[in-house]
Amino acid sequence: MAPILCSSMPEIKVGHIDDIQELRRARPTMVPERYIRDNSERPTRARLPDSLQIPIIDMSKMIWENDVQFHHELAKLATACEEWGFFQVINHGIDTHKLEDMEEVAREFFDLPLEEKEKYPMKPGTIQGYGHAFVFSEDQKLDWCNMLALGVEPPFIRDSKLWPTNPSHFSETLDKYSVEIRKLCHILLRLIARSLRRVEENVFNDMFGTAVQAVRMNYYPPCPRPDLVLGLSPHSDGSALTVLQQETDTVGLQILKDGAWVPVHPIQNALVINIGDTIEVLTNGKYKSVEHRAITNKKKDRLSLVTFYAPSYDVELGPLPEFVDENRPCMYRKYNHGDYSRHYVTNRLEGKKTLEFAKIAEQL
């Protein structure tokens, strides 16, 4: 997902969209037609070796720069970004209470009666508030998910009317949480720059002067037919970095690796990080923004808390010259990040299609 803009598109017709938690109340044995995916999109049970897991980066090994451990972990980070686009960080230094508190208020919010949650409506064509983002037509297949999405920083993207006042400590908890995640993003961006070797450690600094930070909370109720639906459609994120927190008792996130959907198994207190479209463009495709999706479970619900961290809207982006040479010709044109964000939020989630906005024609 991209950072959140309030791009209202009054002309779009999306038809009636059910609230999934309400739909579930009647304990249906089947799902409505609008959720049933075409065969090719349905979650198939992949026969993958359990050892096929996204890399795990131990941040406690990356404190002392002169240490052998530091360089070993940095090399792992480089491989993770190049080959997977995803990794989990452990020992990231964020107080686990802050993570748990956020999970708790988010759950409390989703457990509220619908009338209460509808006080913060996500209007069609916008992606802030409670509801369904990225729905633009009546015939579009829908995701088995309720969402609450909020712009956090800079202040002009924050729509305070959409910040829940119930639970009463929601905003305060989200603010505290967001400060911690932001600090983690700063550290990660520096480490990522360092792992690229060809650029200075502070190469990204100017782009993130008034960085955009947005949060999306995805709640996936249990689904009677998880084999037919998707929790969240395949997409790459329009951010620079995404930080995803998930509970440990359900698997739902899958990433596309060499043509197979690989599940991301949750690790206690770890955070899942992925490279977004911005870093793919800046590194001219060296570090990958990888397609991912969420599937549902028959018996269990699942909550994911997702922070998108992106450059200032006024920044002009394009591949850094250090990553363009005769072996790797320039794959992306220069563009304004605000324009890209607008493009992202006004199109449905469809694999890596949004990045075509930036691709140079002969690379399409």
Ligand X SMILES: O=C(O)CCC(=O)C(=O)O
Question: What residues make contact with ligand X under the rule CB under 6 A?
Answer: 1, 216, 218, 232, 237, 244, 252-253, 292, 294, 304, 306
Q: How far is the CB of 231 from Fe ion (least distance, A)?
A: 11
Task: Report d(CA 169, CA 108) in Å as an integer.
Answer: 10
Q: How far is the CB of 1 from ligand X (least distance, A)?
A: 4
Stretch that binds Fe ion, among 107-115, 139-147, 237-245, 341-349 (CB under 5 A): 237-245
**What number of chain residues touch Fe ion (CB under 5 A)?**
1
**Partner whose binding site includes residue 228, from Fe ion, ligand X, none (CB under 5 to 8 Å by kind):** none
Q: How far is the CB of 281 from ligand X (least distance, A)?
A: 18
User: Strand, helix or coil at 112?
Assistant: coil
- Answer for the pair 304, 244: CB distance below 8 angstroms, yes or no: yes
Which residue number, 21 or 201, has a Cβ lying nearer to ligand X?
21
Which residue number, 150 or 306, has a Cβ lying nearer to ligand X?
306
What residues contact residue 40 under an 8 Å CB cut-off, 6+ apart? Answer: none
Show the tokens assigned to 152. Answer: 């956090």
How far the first Cα of the chain sits from its last, in Å, is 21
- Answer for the pair 341, 308: CB distance below 8 angstroms, yes or no: no
Identity of residue 240: A
Which residue has the closest beta carbon to Fe ion? 237
Q: How far is the CB of 43 from Fe ion (least distance, A)?
A: 16
**Partner whose binding site includes residue 253, from ligand X, Fe ion, none (CB under 5 to 8 Å by kind):** ligand X
Q: How far is the CB of 5 from ligand X (least distance, A)?
A: 16
Show the tokens assigned to 187. Answer: 């550290």
Which residue number, 74 or 305, has a Cβ lying nearer to ligand X?
305
Best CA proximity match to 306, nearest among 146, 76, 149, 187: 149
Is residue 237 a contact residue for Fe ion (CB under 5 A)? Answer: yes
Q: How far is the CB of 216 from ligand X (least distance, A)?
A: 5
**Partner whose binding site includes residue 252, from ligand X, Fe ion, none (CB under 5 to 8 Å by kind):** ligand X
What residues contact residue 155 under an 8 Å CB cut-off, 6+ apart? Answer: none
Show the tokens assigned to 353. Answer: 């299609």
- Answer for the pair 171, 96: CB distance below 8 angstroms, yes or no: no
**Partner whose binding site includes residue 294, from ligand X, Fe ion, none (CB under 5 to 8 Å by kind):** ligand X
**Partner whose binding site includes residue 304, from ligand X, Fe ion, none (CB under 5 to 8 Å by kind):** ligand X
Task: Report d(CA 352, CA 309) in Å as an integer.
Answer: 18
Task: Report d(CA 53, CA 23) in Å as an integer.
Answer: 34
- Answer for the pair 128, 341: CB distance below 8 angstroms, yes or no: no
Identity of residue 259: G
Which residue number, 21 or 333, has a Cβ lying nearer to ligand X?
21
**Partner whose binding site includes residue 89, from ligand X, Fe ion, none (CB under 5 to 8 Å by kind):** none
User: Which residues contribute to the site for Fe ion (CB under 5 A)?
Assistant: 237
